[in-house]
Amino acid sequence: MLAKGEGMYEIKYRPIGIVHSPFKEPKGTPIQPGGAIGVEATVELMSEYVEGLKDLEGFSHIILIYHFHLSGRPSLIVKPFLDKESHGVFAIRGPSRPNAIGISVVRLVGIKDNILEIQDVDIIDGTPLLDIKPYVPEFDTRAVEKRGWIEKHVQKFATSRDDGRFGPKGDKHA
């Protein structure tokens, strides 16, 4: 059994690019890409990674993996945007987490040199990008039997916006 801190080590990532979006702060940002249909943004990839974009234009959607650079201190019990009850951080998709890593599936509109034009974006301007992967429905879509606590709230996600609770000064138990 792994004891606290035993065998653990620090992992460091360097951003490969930056997301430029119309959302300048967490508050008011859509909480999932499905609530940001049509929102346009760009990804500016660092020049040393441009060669890695070869053949990406053949995909209509991509998965962006990024660092929640504006999230507040993590808490293991939090109240998510869609519920009035608190849940464990691993049962929600909010940004304040032990490792502040986010994922979004976005529409790839085009690529020009080191700039990716994307849509359906729920990411804050200036967010450091860690990785890009192609979205392949046959690999990434699964039949779901249970949705946990969110089952009774899932219809609200498209219109829900960040209320600031997970930002640097937010109250995760609000």
Tens of pLDDT, residues 91-137: 988 888 899 999 999 999 999 999 999 999 999 999 999 999 999 98
Tokens of 67: 């660092």
Tokens of 69: 């650079």
Mean pLDDT of 42-63: 98
- The DSSP letter of residue 81 is T
Look up the CATH number of domain 17-138. Answer: 2.40.30.70
Per DSSP, the three-state class of 104 is strand
Q: Where are the domains of the chain?
A: 17-138
- The one-letter amino acid code at 26 reads P
Give me the pLDDT at residue 169, please.
Answer: 61
pLDDT at residue 162 greater than cutoff 70: no
Helix ranges (DSSP H) in 46-107: none
Per DSSP, the three-state class of 64 is strand
State CA 151 to chain mean position distance: 20
